[in-house]
């Protein structure tokens, strides 16, 4: 479903990604872990081209997406993204946040979009918040709305960029529960996270990134239970 070949990314002289090759299958839930500055978020943002790549190729459903010819807007409609800082649209109500993209891109009419929004809000446990503005929500509620917003376009892939890092500790659980139930529904997901317990529990596969490369990968049992690389061991000993 996602095929990455020798991906490199420079910010000026700073080489953030130094050759990443990876295959993510349909329905797979992949957790990306690693220390700050290891390039996890940049890797994720390259997958939907919020960051331009310097070198390498990214294919989604067999289509090369990091070329000038690719219709990036159409590709992004297939890939929902959830951000660390939610990035809800503050001038729109919760429901309008969710229906904006389907309506603007004419994927649904007003009734369909409203129905979809209500379903999604039900699913993330916020059915009663449809008409309020984001400023009246807690962090955990905002992030759940953000997930619903990304799901409104019926994406095939969901990208999560540290979805719980900006939350108060008591709100992390409610967001992780939503992500977990999404994982169980068979959605293809790539999740950059610092929640090791969550990665262990929800992911099919864990990628450990350090200094711009994928240093180690495997099932959660393999990576957490029996890390091969010295740096993986060092990292895990600090965070577990």
Partner 1 sequence: MEWFESFKQIFEKCFIREDRYMLFVKGFEVTIRVSVIALILGVIIGFIIALCNLSKHKALRAVGKVYTDVIRGTPSVTQLMLIYFVVFASVHWPKWIIAGIAFGINSGGYVAEIFRAGILSIDRGQTEAGRSLGLNSYQTMTKIILPQALKNIFPTLCNEFIVLIKETAIVGYVGLMDIQKAGDFIKSATYTPFAPLIATAIIYYVLIKLLTIALGRIEKAMRKSDIR
Residues contributing to the site for partner 1 (CB under 8 A): 48, 50, 73-74, 76-77, 79-81, 83, 85, 87-93, 100-101, 104-105, 133, 135-136, 146, 149-150, 153
Pairing of strands 63-64, 2-11: unpaired
**Nearest-approach distance from CB 101 to partner 1, in angstroms:** 4
For residue 240, which of 176, 195, 174, 184 has the smallest C-alpha distance?
195
**Nearest-approach distance from CB 137 to partner 1, in angstroms:** 10
| CA count, 13 A, side-chain hemisphere, 167 | 26
Residue with tokens 């490199």: 8
Residue placing its CB nearer to partner 1 in the complex, 39 or 155: 155
Residue placing its CB nearer to partner 1 in the complex, 31 or 146: 146
Pair 190, 24: CB distance under 8 Å = yes
Q: Exposed, middle or buried by CB within 10 Å (0-12, 13-18, 19+), for 90?
A: exposed
Residue placing its CB nearer to partner 1 in the complex, 144 or 149: 149
Q: Count Cβ atoms below 10 Å from residue 172 Cβ, excluding itself.
A: 18
Residue placing its CB nearer to partner 1 in the complex, 29 or 88: 88
Report the C-alpha gap between 197 and 161 in whole angstroms: 17
**Nearest-approach distance from CB 197 to partner 1, in angstroms:** 27
Residue placing its CB nearer to partner 1 in the complex, 92 or 213: 92
Which residue(s) pair with 190 in the sheet? 30, 159
**Nearest-approach distance from CB 180 to partner 1, in angstroms:** 22
**Nearest-approach distance from CB 74 to partner 1, in angstroms:** 7
Pair 152, 120: CB distance under 8 Å = yes
């Amino acid at each position: 479903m996602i095929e990455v070949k020798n991906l490199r990314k420079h910010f000026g002289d700073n080489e953030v990604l130094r050759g990443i090759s990876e295959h993510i299958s349909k329905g797979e839930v992949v957790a990306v872990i690693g220390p700050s500055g290891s390039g996890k978020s940049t890797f994720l943002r390259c997958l939907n081209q919020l960051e331009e790549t310097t070198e390498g190729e990214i294919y989604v459903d067999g289509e090369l997406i990091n070329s000038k010819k690719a219709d990036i807007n159409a590709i992004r409609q297939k890939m929902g993204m959830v951000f660390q800082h939610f990035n809800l649209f503050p001038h729109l109500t919760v429901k309008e946040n969710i229906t904006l993209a389907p309506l603007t891109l004419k994927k649904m009419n007003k009734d369909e979009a409203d129905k979809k929004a209500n379903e999604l809000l039900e699913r993330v446990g916020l059915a009663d918040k449809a008409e309020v503005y984001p400023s009246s929500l807690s962090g955990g509620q905002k992030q759940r709305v953000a997930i619903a917003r990304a799901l409104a376009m019926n994406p095939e892939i969901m990208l999560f960029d540290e979805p719980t890092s900006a939350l108060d500790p008591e709100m992390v659980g409610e967001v992780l529960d939503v992500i977990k139930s999404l994982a169980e529904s068979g959605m293809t997901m790539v999740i950059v996270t610092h929640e090791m317990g969550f990665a262990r529990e929800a992911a099919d596969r864990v990628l450990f990134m350090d200094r711009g490369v994928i240093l180690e990968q495997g099932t959660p049992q393999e990576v957490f239970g029996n890390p091969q690389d010295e740096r993986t061991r060092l990292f895990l000993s600090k965070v577990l």
